[in-house]
Amino acid sequence: MKNMMEQMKMMGGHGDNDKCPLTGASKAVSMIDGAAMLVIGTEECAYYTRSTLNMKGSAENCFSVVLDKNDVTFGSIEKVRTAIDELMQEIKPKSLFLITTCVVEVIGDDFSALEKELSEQYSIPVRVIKTNHYQGKDAEHGYELVSEASKDFAKMNKRPGILGQIFGGRKDKNQSGNGMDRSKMLANMSDEQMLAMARQKMGNKMSDEQLLAMIKMKLRSK
Amino acid sequence: MSLTRYLPTPSDRMGILWSLLAIEDAIILEYGTAGTTNYAMKTLMMSGVNPFERLFATGLDETDIALGETSRLENKIKELDEKYQPKVIFVMASSVSSLTGFDVQGVCNYLQDEVNAKLIVFNQGGFSGDYSTGIKACYTTLVDELSIEKLPQENFYNIIGLTNIAQNVQANIAQIDELLNKHFSLKPNAILSYKTDLKAIISMSKAKINLVMSYEGLEAAKILEERFGTPYLYACPIGRTATRIWLEKIAEILNLPLEEEKSNIKANPQAKKDKKIAIFTSYDQLVGLKKLAIELGYEIEFLLCNHSINKIKNRDADITYLKSEKEKINLFASLNNTLVLADNMLINHANKSNQKITISALNIGNWAENEAILGLLAEKIL
């Protein structure tokens, strides 16, 4: 454990923000029923995202567009359009998240304008999630972005939107002040929503009563 | 054709990083966002590779990128040098630092006088090719920078070109070890790149022969031959005939006898009629498997390489490479009544009329998952 703590200190950069927003965003999207994600970036971002989700058994809706030298020089938007077309033909998701990474932001490709156009073209909500880590934000920021982007999904799809992975021992706000206020979010949820979320995280190890008691205890302790 | 549904082919940078992680006492510093390194560490740990106290990141923020600030890199190199007192610090650029034009080599050049560790820089940011390009650069740089001192020769051999990215690496090395020990009483020294250390790489000159198992290791072997006069043999022996020839060549190079009764690898198995084969793996394994498949009487459907082959000189014309994942999927979906040797993703697209064996998953860690295909064991599969 000492080694792990030392390593974290030596990782440098942003203290508590060592986890990239991409990790949070991808995990959050993987928990939305019927949603697909398209990670746009380097092989590393695509590989590690799919690999991590795969180990948790939730990679089936994780796709990517890997950018090469040509895309970095001349732009990647057309390549991404082609990939989205392929994806829509093959899996027909209920919603689509375009998760852009550091490289996309460095080269200045702006996918925001595609949101409306693609939403209309495919008649599903399409959202762009920017996860460039050099802005100093962490995994929770990724959750927050997906949560914010999908808040109107409940109306559109008649089911609750994404709420992300909200439990765990970490404090609510990270040091940079960009973290999501999980206590507030939990307080606004119904018991059923909280239970559904908790089941995603905890599996069937605990009864509904035990889970609710644990969540409420956590809320009180905040 | 630009959609990636499964794991993408690892980049040159990933090839370098994973190869360096095979050096058990290496200290690696990435000049990039901590998130990418953290993500890599998470995947490595989940795969059974321990990156703790070996892999570090400087962190990067918007100011660094806008102003070209390199003080994080300088401070972190000094910090690692002081804390761990390593022989070498491998400094790697990241996609962001390479895109924004940070001069990592320049910083390390002027910082070299201020630290005790030797600084070895890898400037590849992930845009210069796939993992094969990366591991080739890694082998060449490691040998060029570290294998400098000439030592007296002992009963050792080095392996160059069996990568820890391939899941059958452990079984392949065990097979080579068994053959070399049995026939020539030689022991392995450095293995690039699988469970090795700096001491073994620094002392590569003590080996009597360098066994080059893939084209990626050829340049490194040539450096060692030029520097120390160490002979090398470039071949990927698969099956009895190829292994027999390979052992004979080693015996000839080392001027050692190859005892007939010990080798006992003469008979060829029966030729298989009306049987088709399709293979997807790395270039040199494809070359070896092709020879064996022809010898066994297979009709070859395709030989598809899992990395780019355009930089391989005098390459086998039957071996092809497809960049598009969709084209690869379509190719596998078109197979019928064929023996399919491939990775654990594409193999699922071949229908049930085919016999399917996973041989070439590219994933660091989980090394004991596949059987060896080098040496005498491939005929168990084919």
| Residues of chain A neighbouring B59 (CB-CB closer than 8 A) | 11-14
Do B111 and B74 form a contact (C-beta atoms < 8 A)? yes
Residues B5 and B184: their CA atoms lie apart, in Å, by 47
A106–B34: do the CB atoms touch at under 8 Å? Answer: no
pTM greater than 0.80? yes
Q: What confidence score (pLDDT) does residue A164 get?
A: 41
Segments in chain B forming alpha helices (H): 12-21, 34-46, 62-67, 71-84, 95-99, 104-111, 131-146, 169-184, 198-202, 218-228, 240-254, 260-263, 283-295, 325-333, 378-381
Tell me whether residues B33 and A64 touch, CB distance under 8 A.
no
How many angstroms separate the CA atoms of B347 and B356, rounded? Answer: 7
For residue B203, pLDDT over 90 is answered with: yes
Q: What's the full length of chain B, in residues?
A: 382
Neighbours of B146 (CB within 10 A): 21
> Residue A17 in contact with residue A43, Cβ under 8 Å?
no
What is the per-residue pLDDT across B256-301, written as a single tens digit (0 to 9) for each? Answer: 988 765 556 555 566 666 789 999 999 999 999 999 999 889 999 9
C-beta of residue B313 within 8 angstroms of C-beta of residue B136: no
Q: Is B304 left (phi over 0), alpha (psi -120 to 50) or beta?
A: beta
CB atoms within 10 A of CB B370: 21
Locate B174 and state its tokens: 């065990």
CA–CA distance, A47 with A37 (Å, rounded to integer): 14
Contacts of B40 in chain A (CB under 8 A): 44, 48
pLDDT tier at B43 (50, 70, 90 boundaries)? confident
Euclidean distance between CA atoms B305 and B102, whole angstroms:
34
Contact B286, B306 (CB under 8 A): no
Q: Please enumerate in sequence order all residues whose Cβ is within 8 A of that of A220, keeping only pairs 6 or more positions apart, or say none.
A: none
pLDDT for residue B54 is more than 60: yes
Cα separation values, A18 from B37, B51, B147, Å: 9, 15, 36
Q: What DSSP designation does B192 have? A: E
Contact state of B100 with A106 under an 8 Å Cβ cutoff: yes
Residues in chain A: 222
At B35, the pLDDT band (50, 70, 90 cuts) reads confident
Nearest beta carbon to residue B39 from set A14, A20, A43: A20
Distance, in angstroms, between B95 CA and closest chain A CA? Answer: 7
> Predicted ipTM?
0.91
Name the average pLDDT for chain B: 90
What phi-psi label fits residue B102: left (phi over 0), alpha (psi between -120 and 50 degrees) or beta?
beta
Tell me the three-class secondary structure of A78-114, residue by residue: HHHHHHHHHHHHHHCCCEEEEEECHHHHHHCCCCHHH
Q: Output the pLDDT for position A166.
A: 39
Task: Write out the two tokens for B221.
Answer: 């072997």
Contact residues for A89 (Cβ-Cβ < 8 A; gap 6+): none
Q: How far from chain centre, in Å, is Cα A122?
A: 22
Chain B residues whose CB is inside 8 A of the A5 CB are none
Mean pLDDT over residues B245-257, rounded? 94
Q: How far is CA A211 from each of CA A196, A203, A207, A214, rounded to the nearest angstrom? A: 10, 10, 6, 5
Question: Minimum mean pLDDT among A27-41, B63-77, B193-207: which range?
Answer: B63-77
How high is the pLDDT of residue A183? Answer: 53
Residue A136 to residue B61, Cβ atoms within 8 A: yes
Please state, in angstroms and as integers, the Cα–Cα distance from residue B233 to each residue in B126, B139, B286, B309, following that order: 30, 16, 18, 21
B238 neighbors B176 (Cβ within 8 angstroms): no
**Residue B12 main-chain phi, psi, to 5 deg:** -60, -40
How far is B43 from B64, CA to CA, in rounded Å?
A: 27
Tokens 């971002």 locate to: A45
DSSP state of B155: S
Contact residues, chain A, for B79 at CB < 8 Å: 10
- B259 vs B265: CA distance, rounded Å: 11
Please report the residues numbered 6 through 65 in chain A whose beta carbons come closer than 8 angstroms to any beta carbon of chain B: 6-7, 10-14, 17-23, 38, 42-52, 55, 63-65
At B5, list the tokens: 């549904």
Q: How confident is the model at residue B182 (pLDDT cuts 50, 70, 90)?
A: very high
CA dist A35 and A53 (Å) reads: 14
Give the residues across from B356 on adjacent strands. B340
Question: Residue range B41-63: average pLDDT?
Answer: 83
For chain A, positions 97-116, list CB contacts with chain B under 8 A: 102-103, 106-107
Burial class (CB in 10 A: 0-12, 13-18, 19+), B257: exposed
Residue (of B374, B372, B87, B59) closest to B242 by Cα position = B374
A72 touches chain B (CB under 8 A): yes
Q: Measured between alpha carbons, how far is A210 from B98 in angstroms, rounded to an integer?
A: 51
Query: Which residue would you say has higher pLDDT here, B74 or A55?
Result: B74
> Which element (helix H / strand E) includes B189?
strand B187-192
Asked if the Cβ–Cβ distance from A20 to B38 is below 8 Å, we say yes
A195 in reach of chain B (CB within 8 A): no
Q: Which residues of chain A have pLDDT under 70?
A: 1-18, 135-136, 154-190, 192-194, 196-206, 216-222
For residues B50 and B53, give the distance between their C-alpha atoms in angstroms, rounded to a whole number: 9
C-alpha distance from residue B57 to each of A20, A23, A55, B80, B165 (Å): 13, 17, 24, 11, 22
Query: Peptide bond before B98: cis, by omega within 30 degrees of 0?
Result: no
Which range, of B29-43, B219-233, B252-266, B332-346, averages the lowest pLDDT? B252-266
pLDDT above 70: percentage of residues in chain B: 94
